[in-house]
Structures are given as structure tokens and as C-alpha cells.
């Protein structure tokens, strides 16, 4: 039987950052991951870091990587009614964003973890959690044909919406708050320069669109699509034509189709679990909450959860009792609901809903116009986008 202080389920951002923070504090931990390392690093995910997230990563020694490969964005643009208008985040808040790919972040954290000799168990199968409501939890699993057992003091469930951590709990132990959205995002990663140096969010009668990026030479873009759509319906040519149609003329003129590296359809969902502590088991990241990607909050919430849980566990192992552990749920939920509020409001503002009336459409236009007539409205958006109101 193996033994560690904290067993972390899932090697996504929440799990890897938590593991790094615990290692930095001298707390032994192991990460158990269902997939192989190659599968983990091949995922195309969000890569927009709020200042608080960048500070947490810098504290883990990733300053050089962020400075070398990260793109600093001091603003973002909204496209509507054929015009592109900029919101100056730096002028409104004094802060900026960092574009840094999640796969690159995961690779950096895994490399640092391996160099430090911290165990990461990949391709874990048949994982079960035992005694999570007792002082001595156990994790049993199968790996490479061998049955294994890991004893620990705490379990951190960082294994996402479909993971085993929440599924291991009786349904009566927690409450779910959930909202489904009547559309999805069709996303493409392409080997071509972005049409603008910053993110461009587009509101259009044909539906929402977003031009983001992974680097100065790699474009990540999305268009709103029907939930019933299949990838086979969307040839590359059709995608580029539709994206071009939804952008303002200036951005569209700079758009250059390029080789497709990845294409997928993402359903949009809001989801919050309450509470987030169950004896010695804690939920973090997507296992605890999901937000629509419109507000770029998912990765940042995962990092913030890891930071808060690491601090609470450090306090416990220093002999300070369980008060910080008890505060974990309310602290994370305050931040999660602020992110849900902002993500929902931005999604509602920029998307076309199936039951939307002409009156609703005019209200959207009026709200966008107000946003660019009011510095206070722009400041509120900038503060929420940068995570300054989330705690």
C-alpha cells in the first residue's frame, strides 16, 4: 500500500496547480489521472489568464515561461452593427490579461513535477474512493494490469464534470444548480495569424463569434451553432465563410483561413455544486462548477480553487485546525457565483437565443450601445473580466 498526505484525482489545471502548491509547501501528494500524458497534453483548452492566476503561476516559478511565451493583452474588442469597439482594460483597471495555452501550462507543470520527483500516476483505471468521510481515506485502482491502493489524509477531486469524485458521493450529500444553453460553440484551431492583436467578440444576427488566439501565428476561433449540429456538417470552407460573415468588415478583411489543427463542438452549460467539502474529500475546478466559456473563467476558477485549497490544507498540516478547511466551500462558491453571473450576462448579451424576439434583439443593441457610452459600464465589465470582483 502506498501512502501520501493528499491524493489528487485529475491532472488538469486544478490538480496540477494544487500539486505544485502543496509540493512547494512540503506537503506530500500524488496525482491520479485517467488518461495518458500524451492525451492530456493534446487537449485544446482555454488559455486566458487573469492577473490573479498569472500571479499564482509566477509564484510557482513560471515567470520566465509566461514572459517568454505569454501574450499580454491590455484590452479586448466587441464587434456589433458592423463596427469594432475596444474596451481598454489597462486604462479602466490598471491591469491586463495573459494569453498562455493550457496545454503549454500543463506541460510546464508536469515537467516541474517530474523534476521534483512528485508522483503522477497516468492511465489509472477502475478508481474507487473509500472512507472519504473518515480520517483515513483510501483510493483503490488498477494501473498497467496491477491492483493498487493509496492511503491518504485528504482527497482532492479535480477530475472534471464527468469525474469519479462527485460521482462517488450519494446524491443526497450535495445540491446541484444547473442551466443548459440552447446552442453550442463550434471551435477551430488554425495555423494562421489572428485577424486582430486582441480578442474580438462579435454579436451578429447570424449568431455569436469569437476570434481568440494561442500565439501570434495560431488562431483559435468560435461560432455559435445549433446543439444538434455535427462536425461533418461543417467543412472548413463553410466555417471560414460563416466566421467571416459574422465579423465586422475591418476584422473580416484581416481574416486569413489557414490549415485546421483541431475542430470541435462545445455545448454550453452552467453548473455549481454545493457544498464542496465532504469529510476528507474536496471538489475543485470543473468537478465543482462549470461556466460558459464566454467570460473566459473556467481555467481561472480552477487555479483559484487550487490556491484556496492549498492554503487551507497548509493551515491544517501546520496544526491550525479545520477552520480554513471549513471556509473553503463558502469562499469558492462566492467566486463561482460571481463568475456565473458575469458569464451568463455576457452570453445573454452576445448570443442569439432561439426564442429571442425582435424586442429582445433591440434590447441587446441598446445594451451594447450603453456599454460604449458609459465608462462606468465599461469599468464594471473590465473588473469582472479580469476577476477583480471574484475574490
Residue 164: its pLDDT value, please? 96
Among candidate residues 23, 204, 297, 351, the one labeled active-site is 297
**CA separation (Å) from 82 to 246, 249, 352, 365, 369?**
9, 6, 16, 12, 13
Is residue 187 domain-shared with residue 238, that is, in the same domain? yes
Is residue 262 domain-shared with residue 275, that is, in the same domain? no
**Confidence band of 281 (pLDDT split at 50, 70, 90):** very high
Among candidate residues 100, 201, 222, 271, the one labeled active-site is 201
Is residue 298 domain-shared with residue 241, that is, in the same domain? no
Mean per-residue pLDDT, 74-80? 96
Residues 221 and 210: beta-carbon distance below 8 Å: yes
> Is the predicted pLDDT of residue 388 greater than 80, yes or no?
no
Residue 9: its pLDDT value, please? 98
Residue 67: its pLDDT value, please? 87
In angstroms, rounded to a whole number, what is the distance separating the alpha carbons of residues 210 and 227? 18
- Would residue 390 count as lying in a domain? no
Contacts of 385 (CB under 8 A, 6+ apart): 76, 89, 97, 295, 296, 342
Is residue 154 domain-shared with residue 36, that is, in the same domain? yes
Is residue 27 domain-shared with residue 160, that is, in the same domain? yes
Is residue 288 domain-shared with residue 239, that is, in the same domain? no
Q: What is the CATH number of the domain that holds 32?
A: 3.50.50.60
Mean per-residue pLDDT, 197-225? 96
In angstroms, rounded to a whole number, what is the distance separating the alpha carbons of residues 293 and 239? 19
Contacts of 257 (CB under 8 A, 6+ apart): 190, 192, 236, 240
- Would residue 249 count as lying in a domain? yes
Is residue 171 domain-shared with residue 273, that is, in the same domain? yes
Query: Quick check: is 51 catalytic?
Result: no
Residues 213 and 69: beta-carbon distance below 8 Å: no
Task: Quote the domain boundaries for residue 213.
Answer: 181-268+352-385
Among candidate residues 181, 194, 293, 351, the one labeled active-site is 293
Query: Quick check: is 73 catalytic?
Result: yes
Is residue 197 domain-shared with residue 58, that is, in the same domain? no
Residue 289: its pLDDT value, please? 98
Mean per-residue pLDDT, 1-24? 96
Residue 390: its pLDDT value, please? 52
**How do beta strands 124-130 and 120-121 pair?**
unpaired
In angstroms, rounded to a whole number, what is the distance separating the alpha carbons of residues 50 and 301? 10
Is residue 170 domain-shared with residue 195, that is, in the same domain? no
- Count how many domains the chain has: 2
> Is the predicted pLDDT of residue 312 greater than 60, yes or no?
yes
The total number of residues shown for the chain amounts to 391
Question: For 95-151, what is each residue's pLDDT tens digit?
Answer: 999 999 888 899 999 999 999 888 899 999 999 999 999 999 999 999 999 999 999
Residue 389: its pLDDT value, please? 59
**Confidence band of 45 (pLDDT split at 50, 70, 90):** low
In angstroms, rounded to a whole number, what is the distance separating the alpha carbons of residues 369 and 76? 16
Question: For 245-271, what is each residue's pLDDT tens digit?
Answer: 999 999 999 999 999 999 999 999 999
> Is the predicted pLDDT of residue 76 greater than 60, yes or no?
yes
Is residue 259 domain-shared with residue 314, that is, in the same domain? no
Question: For 172-190, what is each residue's pLDDT tens digit?
Answer: 999 999 999 999 999 999 9
Is residue 261 domain-shared with residue 228, that is, in the same domain? yes
Mean per-residue pLDDT, 188-199? 96
Question: For 325-350, what is each residue's pLDDT tens digit?
Answer: 999 999 999 999 999 999 999 999 99
* Cis preceding-peptide flag for 135 (omega within 30 of 0): no
pTM of the model: 0.95
- Would residue 242 count as lying in a domain? yes
Spacing of C-alpha 58 from chain mean position: 18
- Would residue 84 count as lying in a domain? no
In angstroms, rounded to a whole number, what is the distance separating the alpha carbons of residues 226 and 230? 9
Least confidently predicted of 61-70, 270-279, 302-311:
61-70
Query: Quick check: is 196 catalytic?
Result: no
Give kind and range of the element (H or E) at residue 199. none
In angstroms, rounded to a whole number, what is the distance separating the alpha carbons of residues 27 and 322? 16
Contacts of 369 (CB under 8 A, 6+ apart): none
Give kind and range of the element (H or E) at residue 189. strand 175-190
Assigned C-alpha cell, 77: 474588442
Give me the percent of the chain exceeding a pLDDT of 70.
98
**Confidence band of 323 (pLDDT split at 50, 70, 90):** very high
Residue 44: its pLDDT value, please? 64
Is residue 54 domain-shared with residue 106, that is, in the same domain? yes
Residue 331's φ and ψ, nearest 5 degrees, are: -65, -45
- Would residue 89 count as lying in a domain? no
Q: What is the CATH number of the domain that holds 250?
A: 3.30.9.10
Assigned C-alpha cell, 172: 443526497
- Would residue 94 count as lying in a domain? no
**CA separation (Å) from 369 to 75, 208, 277?**
18, 17, 43
Query: Quick check: is 385 catalytic?
Result: yes
Mean pLDDT over the full length of the chain: 95
In angstroms, rounded to a whole number, what is the distance separating the alpha carbons of residues 151 and 131? 10
Residue 43: its pLDDT value, please? 74
Mean per-residue pLDDT, 46-75? 91
Query: Quick check: is 230 catalytic?
Result: no
DSSP-assigned letters across all residues of 282-310: EE-GGGTEE--GGG--HHHHHHHHHHHHH
Residue 222's φ and ψ, nearest 5 degrees, are: -140, 150
- Would residue 92 count as lying in a domain? no
- Would residue 253 count as lying in a domain? yes
Spacing of C-alpha 90 from chain mean position: 22
Assigned C-alpha cell, 99: 494569453
Residues 197 and 168: beta-carbon distance below 8 Å: no
Amino acid at each position: 500500500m502506498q501512502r501520501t498526505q493528499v491524493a489528487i484525482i485529475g491532472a488538469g489545471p486544478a490538480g496540477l496547480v494544487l500539486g505544485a502548491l502543496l509540493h512547494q509547501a512540503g506537503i506530500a501528494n500524488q496525482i491520479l489521472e485517467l488518461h495518458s500524458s500524451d492525451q492530456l497534453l493534446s487537449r485544446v483548452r482555454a488559455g486566458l489568464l487573469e492577473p490573479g492566476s498569472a500571479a499564482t503561476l509566477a509564484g510557482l516559478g513560471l515567470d520566465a515561461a509566461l514572459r517568454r511565451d505569454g501574450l499580454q493583452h491590455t484590452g479586448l474588442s466587441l464587434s456589433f452593427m458592423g463596427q469594432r469597439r475596444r474596451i481598454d482594460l489597462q486604462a479602466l483597471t490598471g491591469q491586463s490579461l495573459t494569453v498562455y495555452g493550457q496545454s503549454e501550462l500543463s506541460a510546464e507543470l508536469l515537467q516541474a513535477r517530474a523534476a521534483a520527483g512528485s508522483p503522477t500516476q497516468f492511465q489509472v483505471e477502475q478508481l474507487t474512493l473509500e472512507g472519504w468521510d473518515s480520517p483515513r481515506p483510501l483510493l483503490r485502482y488498477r494501473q498497467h494490469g496491477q491492483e493498487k491502493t493509496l492511503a491518504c489524509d485528504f482527497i482532492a477531486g479535480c477530475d472534471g464534470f464527468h469525474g469519479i469524485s462527485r460521482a462517488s458521493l450519494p446524491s443526497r450529500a450535495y445540491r446541484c444548480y444547473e442551466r443548459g444553453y440552447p446552442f453550442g460553440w463550434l471551435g477551430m484551431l488554425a495555423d494562421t495569424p489572428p485577424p486582430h492583436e486582441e480578442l474580438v467578440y462579435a454579436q451578429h444576427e447570424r449568431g455569436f463569434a469569437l476570434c481568440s488566439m494561442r500565439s501570434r501565428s495560431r488562431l483559435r476561433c468560435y461560432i455559435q451553432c445549433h446543439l444538434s449540429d455535427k462536425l461533418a456538417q461543417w467543412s472548413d470552407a463553410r466555417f471560414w465563410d460563416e466566421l467571416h460573415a459574422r465579423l465586422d468588415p475591418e476584422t473580416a478583411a484581416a481574416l486569413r483561413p489557414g490549415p485546421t489543427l483541431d475542430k470541435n463542438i462545445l455545448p454550453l452549460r452552467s453548473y455549481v455544486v454545493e457544498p464542496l467539502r465532504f469529510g476528507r474529500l474536496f471538489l475543485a475546478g470543473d468537478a465543482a462548477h462549470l461556466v460558459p466559456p464566454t467570460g473566459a473563467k473556467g481555467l481561472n476558477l480552477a487555479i483559484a480553487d487550487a490556491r484556496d485549497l492549498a492554503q487551507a490544507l497548509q493551515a491544517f498540516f501546520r496544526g491550525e485546525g479545520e477552520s480554513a478547511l471549513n471556509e473553503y466551500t463558502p469562499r469558492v462558491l462566492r467566486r463561482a457565483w460571481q463568475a456565473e453571473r458575469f458569464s451568463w450576462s455576457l452570453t445573454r448579451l452576445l448570443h442569439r437565443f432561439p426564442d429571442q424576439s425582435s424586442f429582445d434583439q433591440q434590447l441587446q443593441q441598446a445594451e451594447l450601445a450603453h456599454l460604449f457610452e458609459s465608462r462606468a459600464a465599461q469599468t464594471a465589465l473590465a473588473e469582472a473580466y479580469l476577476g477583480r470582483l471574484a475574490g
